[in-house]
Amino acid sequence: MFENHTILVTGGTGSWGQEVIKQLILQNPKEIRVFSRNETLQVEMAQQFKDHHQIKFIIGDIRNQEELINACEGVDIVYHLAALKHVPVCENHPSEAFKTNVHGTQNVINAAIKNNVRKVVYLSTDKAADPSNIYGMTKAIGEKLMIYANTKNVMTRFICVRSGNVLGTSGSVVQVFKNQINNSRQIEITDRRMTRFFLTMEQSVQFLFKATKEGKGGEIFVMKMPACKIDDLAHVLIDESGYENIQIKEVGIRPGEKLNESLFSESESTRTKLINHDYFVILPTVPVEGLNDYYRSYENADSRGYHSETEPMTKEEIREMLKMGDLL
C-alpha cells in the first residue's frame, strides 16, 4: 500500500508518530517526512533510524501554513498526528489548543489540497464524541474540518480515525501509575468509578493503516476496543509491581474530565455502520458523493452509542492487555 509512496507525518516525533514510522519502514515507502517542532526528539530519532535513509526530518509547526505547504510538496499521504492532547493543558491554555488543534488542522488541509495529496488521515480521540473539555472540542472541530474538506471537489480525500487511550504513549495513565508506585508508593485516582477505552500502540497504528487503505473520504473510523475501570487497572499494576502496602488515593475529577468516555454518541449512532464486526464507520452530516451508497448495505450500529462503562474488562483481561503492550 505504501511502496514507492512519499508520506508526511505531522507530530512525527511523538509516541504515535514514532510507531507509525517504525511500521511504515517495513512497507518500503519512497520517503517518510517527519514534521515536528521538537528538535531534540528529531536528533534522537535520527540516531535511532540512522540506517533508514528514506526518512527525512523537517523542523516545522503546523501553525505555519507556508511550512506545511513546502513539506507537502510531492507527498502522497499525510498522517496528521500533531496536537496539543493533554486535557489539563488544553483547559488551562484554550487559545493555544485552538491554534494548534483547529487552525493547525485547517493548515494541513490547505497544504494538502494545494499539493494534490492523495489522502490525509487525521488522528482524533474518543473525547471528540460529545465533548466536555477544550481538547475534545478542538478535536471535534478538527474532525468537522476534515470531513467538510471532502465536499470541495478536490483530488485529496480526508479520513478521520477516532482512538481511545493508547498504552505506552507519553504521559499515559499506565506510565503515571507506574511512576507513582515506584516513587511515592501511592497511586492517585481522580475517581474510582472512572472507565476508559484502551488499546495497544501496535493495534492503533495497524487500524490507522486499515483506514488509509479502505477509507473513501468523509468517514470517521472507530475501532472496537476494550474498556476498563481505572481502579482495576491500578490494582493490576500494584499486584504486578511486587510492592506491598501501596495506597490508592481518590483526588477528584479534574476540570473537563468525564467519568466515562464514548467512541460515538447516541446522536451519532443514527449514521454509524458496523463493518465486519471489527470496527465502525461514522458517516458525515454533510453530503459526500457516493459515500452513503457505498456503506448502505452494512449493519447499523447500536442506537445507544458506544460507551466505556458498558462492558469493562476483568482484571485478568487487563493484565493480558498490558502484557500484549509490553507494559508488564
Q: Which residues of 219-255 are buried (b: 16+ CB within 10 A; e: fewer)?
A: bbbbbbbebbbbbbbbbbbbeebeeeebeeeeeeeee
The three cell numbers locating residue 219: 468517514
Strands (E), 64-194: 77-80, 119-125, 157-163, 165-166, 186-189
Q: Alpha carbon 87 to chain centroid distance?
A: 14
Return the closest-CA partner of residue 208 out of 57, 19, 10.
Answer: 19
- Compute the distance between CA of residue 58 and CA of residue 8 in angstroms, rounded to an integer: 10
The reply to whether 127 belongs to the active site is yes
Nearest by Cα to 267 from 138, 146, 129: 129
Coil/strand/helix, residue 320: helix
Neighbouring residues of 201: CB distance < 8 A, sequence distance ≥ 6: 15, 16, 19, 166, 167, 168, 169, 325
CB atoms within 10 A of CB 155: 12
Distances (CA, A) of 215 to 10, 13, 27, 85, 119: 19, 25, 19, 24, 9
Q: Identify the three-state secondary structure at position 88.
A: helix
Q: Which of 85, 127, 229, 273 is catalytic?
A: 127
Q: How many helices (H) and strands (E) does the chain have?
A: 13, 17
- Rounded to a whole number of angstroms, the CA Rg of the chain reads 20
Distance CA 104, CA 142 (A): 9
Cell 495506597 -> residue = 247
Catalytic residue IDs: 127
